[in-house]
Amino acid sequence: MGKKRSNLGLIGTYILWTMMSIFTLLPIYWMVVVSARSRVELFSPGKFWQTTFYAQNYTNPLTSPAFQRYIANSLIIATSNALLVITLALFATYALSRWKLNGADNIFFWTITNRMAPAAAFILPLFLLFTRAFKLGDFMMFDTRIGLILLYCVFNLPFAIWLLKGIIDGIPIELDEAALVDGAGRWTILYRVILPLAAPGLAIAGILCWMFAWNEYLFAAALTSTRARTITTGLAEFVTVTGTNWGEMAAVATISLLPALIFLVFVQKYIVMGLTFGAVKE
């Protein structure tokens, strides 16, 4: 009787997870379907399954110099931001975890409070800073890649520090002490002891920061104009006064999913390792 109940519970769990997966993936599936349809198909009584493929929805944006620039901007900004964030977060977390700093817990809490305010609250002051305060001659931070890279650090760095703090704390301090006895310096310990052991955590922090920078829309829309526009803000160009080009918009949205999807496929094994490393301490 107990085994039968267990089997029923297992079946119910599978059904529940299947329904949740369908509910989650259905919008993505429909976006791909819309990207494969022509305008005539979009505004005619359609079907759930798509059997044809309208290639111009993809070729038109991909051959456009503007959208090629948007994709390049997104790749450069997201990758540079992720590398900068995990580098700074590793240094900051190592100092907070290993050095006996006065008020280290308060510093750690203060950094994470930057993520608690809504992003819209920063738009006006950041716009004024980018257009007026950070202006050196003819150069200003507005509509520049470096501006967005540094701006995303403000929001990604606290998150990365919060994520890596538990991971660094989970590495036994006795390893540092043994390395010090062998004559290693702080930089050597960080590079040869901490970095290899914290690699899964750095990977997951880098993935999440990269995805945030890649998908971010609000700041990119408000603080860029033409030169540093990203692929997410480029989607708005398909909404015009004469109508919305749903097919090409869905095609570009589908293209914008691919780098993150490919990125996740190659580093998937690090995700669970990074999220669970250091979670259990003796």
What CATH number should be reported for the domain holding residue 130? 1.10.3720.10
Confidence of residue 2 (pLDDT cuts 50, 70, 90): low
Determine, yes or no, domain membership for 133.
yes
Domain count, the chain: 1
* Predicted model pTM: 0.85
Determine, yes or no, domain membership for 84.
yes
Q: SS3 letters for the chain?
A: CHHHHHHHHHHHHHHHHHHHHHHHHHHHHHHHHHHCCCHHHHCCCCCCCCCCCCCHHHHHHHCCHHHHHHHHHHHHHHHHHHHHHHHHHHHHHHHHHHCCCCCHHHHHHHHHHCCCCCHHHHHHHHHHHHHHHCEECCEECCCCHHHHHHHHHHHHHHHHHHHHHHHHHCCCHHHHHHHHHCCCCHHHHHHHHHHHHCHHHHHHHHHHHHHHHHHCCHHHHHHCCCCCCCHHHHHHHHEECCEECHHHHHHHHHHHHHHHHHHHHHHHHHHHHHHHCCCCCC
Q: What is the mean pLDDT of residues 105-125?
A: 79
Determine, yes or no, domain membership for 14.
no
Contact 213, 82 (CB under 8 A): yes
By DSSP bridging, strand 139-140 and strand 239-240 are unpaired
26 versus 50: the higher-pLDDT residue is: 26
pLDDT, mean over the chain:
84
Q: Using one digit for the tens of pLDDT, what is the confidence trace for 119-134?
A: 888 898 899 888 887 6
Determine, yes or no, domain membership for 160.
yes
**136 - beta bridge partners?**
139
Cα–Cα dist 132/54, whole Å: 46
| Core vs surface per residue 115-128: b (16+ CB within 10 A) or e | eeeeeeebeeebee
Determine, yes or no, domain membership for 28.
no
Determine, yes or no, domain membership for 62.
yes
Determine, yes or no, domain membership for 20.
no
The proportion of the chain whose per-residue pLDDT surpasses 70, expressed as a percent, equals 88
Q: Using one digit for the tens of pLDDT, what is the confidence trace for 31-49?
A: 999 999 888 888 777 677 8
Determine, yes or no, domain membership for 50.
no
Question: Which range marks the domain in which residue 100 is found?
Answer: 58-276
Cα–Cα dist 89/164, whole Å: 7
